[in-house]
Amino acid sequence: MIAILLLAFQMGRAGDPLNVPVPDPASPVMHDASSVNQFSLYKGPWLTGTIQLEGGDKMPYPPLVVSNCGAPVRSTWTTFQVAATSCLVGISVPGYRSAYFFVRDRAVVVLKRLGEHEGSSISITALQTPVSARKSFDQGRLAAYRKNWTEAARAFKKSLAIYAENANAWDELGAAQEFLGDSASARESYRRAASLDPRFIKPHVHLARLELAANQPASAMAAAQSAIRLIPLEFPQVYLYHAMAAATLERYDIAEDSAAKAIEWDTQHEYPRAEYLLATLLQRRGDKNGALRHYRTFLERAPAASDAAAVGERIKLLENSP
């Protein structure tokens, strides 16, 4: 069983090794280009849209509008403009669920309220950050977009030296430190981010992944559980992390339940490895038909996975078994 779990752990999304820190698709390393001088000369064309809150709520804070490819964006309290491109765009407002989408012209984006116990993918502390600290923070995110992790870490540290209460900056610093191979510092940065804003969910998700990579299943399970308590609608992968940790600890019923939830919540099918893990758990307790179903779904959603041939052989063996 441990060998199966290790194989499952090697692949999160199809083709992405989990033992290399990879930004989560639900929370990509996104770049707010509105304050970066190099985009100031962009004259268009622009795709425009309107931002609304559920129930006609009044906008409590200026929305954060970002793109995942460095495309220019700009926004007011209720509108946004994005350079005409195929980039993924995200809009976040504290207290509301973030929206991620490929923008079309004249789009109307309605952000839904968070539930009573639901966590946020953006911390309210980011909006309290003074301008001087925000400038370095934006420089750090631009460096992260360029995968210049040394410069990103330096800029985030500079921002935090000015204003140490920005949970988002601690979380971004942790990601840069992970990419630089400094897991110990990344762990502390994520923990600091989580302590500054109890409803900020991202550092808990990142901690769960980090602890799994470090072969610390008990710590990974605890971090994942902290995220689950915040109702991680935008982070279905945390259920996969929770399932992997539980299975490694031989808590198979819990692992099966979490793997099933990962599949249920992963509406975009970004984490097919959950199908594989659930199949192995079902096979372990003798549910041949259930195991076959999830093995086949895994291959449908991750045909290029490094172990696709091995899973195909496993399916043949199960089909021919009594």
Full set of structural domains in the chain with CATH: 2-16+123-319 (1.25.40.10), 33-111 (2.60.40)
In which element (H, E) is residue 256 found? helix 252-265
Residue 68 to residue 47: CA distance in whole angstroms? 16
Average pLDDT over residues 8-34: 35
Look up residue 212 and give its two tokens.
């799994």
Look up residue 290 and give its two tokens.
């259930």
For residue 318, how many other CB atoms are within 10 A of its CB? Answer: 15
Residue 255 to residue 247: CA distance in whole angstroms? 5
Average pLDDT over residues 282-305: 96
Beta bridge partners, 102, equal 88
For residue 156, pLDDT beyond 70: yes
8 Å CB contact between 312 and 298: no
DSSP string, 268-314: T---THHHHHHHHHHHHTT-HHHHHHHHHHHHHH-TT-TTHHHHHHH
pLDDT at 107: 84
Residue 319 vs residues 3, 94, 276, 290: alpha-carbon distances, Å: 22, 50, 16, 12
Residue 45 to residue 261: CA distance in whole angstroms? 42
- Sorting pLDDT into bands at 50, 70 and 90, what band is 1? very low
Query: Which residue from 141, 154, 176 is spatially nearest to 31, judged by alpha carbons?
Result: 141
Average pLDDT over residues 209-223: 96
3-class DSSP assignment, residue 96: strand
8 Å CB contact between 301 and 14: yes
- Sorting pLDDT into bands at 50, 70 and 90, what band is 4? very low
Residue 254 vs residues 18, 240, 245, 280, 281: alpha-carbon distances, Å: 21, 11, 10, 14, 11
Question: What does pTM read for this prediction?
Answer: 0.71
- Sorting pLDDT into bands at 50, 70 and 90, what band is 116? low
Average pLDDT over residues 99-112: 81
Cis peptide before 45 (omega within 30 of 0): yes
Give the chain's count of helices (H) and strands (E). 12, 7
- Sorting pLDDT into bands at 50, 70 and 90, what band is 317? very high
Residue found by looking up tokens 């946020």 in the block: 120
- Strand order from edge to edge, sheet including 88-92: 64-67, 88-92, 99-102
